[in-house]
């Protein structure tokens, strides 16, 4: 059995507040949201990180962005949102199953990074 927490969500072994699912991906609410809207879009296939994705993964990676975007808009981000992928140690990735964060809500986002 996989030890990967997001593979467990894919397999239905642990619950998640899903907002979308198809053959290739799932979108669900982050368990510890940083903003009023905080969705995670993940491929069903285990891809450890953006750094290990291959050309074969390009289609599903595009679907993560397109589907997650539409769901973020539906969930309250009609005026915009931020899309984030943390990668590897320096990127402070915590869960090593590729995921795209969609974060937003009414005027809650700070500037991207301090200069
Ligand atoms: P990372 O730092 O890897 O980009 O972010 C991992 C995200 O996954 C965090 O925002 C964290 O709150 C979320 N997360 C971790 N475990 C779970 C879980 O079991 N369920 C859900 N819904 N989100 C999780
Ligand atoms: Zn996984």
pLDDT digits (tens, 9 = 90+) for 45-89: 999 999 999 999 999 999 999 999 999 999 999 999 999 999 999
Task: Give nearest CA residue, ligand 1 atom 5.
Answer: 94
Mean pLDDT is lowest, of 3-12, 46-55, 100-109, for 100-109
How many Å lie between the centroid of ligand 1 and the Cα of residue 79?
Answer: 24
How many Å lie between the centroid of ligand 2 and the Cα of residue 32?
Answer: 19
Does position 113 have pLDDT exceeding 90, yes or no? Answer: no
- Is 89 contained in some domain? yes
The closest alpha carbon to 41, from 70, 13, 15, 14, belongs to 70
Mutating to test ligand 1, I would choose from 18, 19, 28, 31 the residue with most ligand atoms within 8 A of its C-beta, which is 31
Provide the domain limits for residue 86: 5-104
Q: Measure the CA dihedral 43/47/49/50, to 10°.
A: -70
Q: Are 103 and 84 in contact (CB under 8 A)?
A: yes
Query: pLDDT at position 33, please?
Result: 97
Catalytic residue set? 99
Residue whose pair of structure tokens reads 């982050």 in the numeric block:
30
Task: Give nearest CA residue, ligand 1 atom 24.
Answer: 31
- Is 30 contained in some domain? yes
For residue 32, the domain's CATH number is 3.30.428.10
Domain count, the chain: 1
């Amino acid at each position: 059995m996989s030890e990967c927490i997001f593979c467990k969500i894919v397999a239905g072994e642990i619950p998640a507040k899903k907002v979308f699912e198809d053959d290739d991906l799932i979108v669900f609410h982050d368990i510890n949201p940083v903003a009023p809207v905080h969705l995670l879009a993940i491929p069903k296939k285990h891809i450890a990180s953006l750094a290990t994705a291959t050309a074969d993964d390009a289609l599903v990676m595009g679907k993560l962005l397109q589907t997650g975007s539409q769901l973020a808009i539906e969930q309250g981000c009609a005026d915009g949102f931020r899309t984030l992928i943390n990668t590897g140690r320096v990127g402070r990735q915590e869960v090593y199953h590729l995921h795209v964060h969609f974060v937003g809500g009414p005027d809650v986002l700070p500037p991207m990074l301090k200069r």
